[in-house]
Amino acid sequence: MSPKPLNDQSVIKEILATKGKIVIVGLSPKPERDSNRVAQYMIGHGYEIVPVNPMSQEILGRKCYPSIADVPGEIAVVDVFRKSDDVPPIVEQAIAKGAKFLWLQLGVVHQEAAQTALNAGMGVVMNKCIKIEHSLKNGS
């Protein structure tokens, strides 16, 4: 089976239906930051959010991990709130950990890294906000 194309609507739908861990790389402890607001929204809608930020021990009452490799267990989605240039090593970690999906938030664009993830069999969404997509699909 060939990989689904970048930003395929069926991939977005599958991600939004996940019951697995959503790791947010670059989740900020600051409530005014987009990553924090998105995480709060997703937690409020029943998603299991796992913060990855080497500068924090805990964010939003959840244990924070320094890297994707440190997150225990299986990962469904790696959601990235980092500069585009930081994406390739994040993708390598996500692949090594066996994550099923990669989500690059609005403004995060790295074509080669996205292609690497697609080639590894991951579903990939790039330059879109998971919170916006969830609210569009759920009318909230």
pLDDT (tens digit per residue) in 61-74 = 999 999 999 999 99
Q: List the chain residues with pLDDT less than 50.
A: 1
CA angle at residue 104 from 115 to 135, to 5 degrees?
Answer: 130
Strands (E), the chain: 21-25, 48-52, 58-59, 62-63, 77-80, 101-104, 123-126
The answer to whether 76 and 21 have CB atoms below 8 angstroms apart is: yes
The answer to whether 7 and 133 have CB atoms below 8 angstroms apart is: no
Instruction: Tell me whether strands 48-52 and 58-59 are parallel, antiparallel or unpaired.
Output: unpaired
pTM over 0.85: yes
pLDDT at residue number 2 = 57
Q: Which of 137, 17, 29, 13 is nearest to 81 (CA)?
A: 29
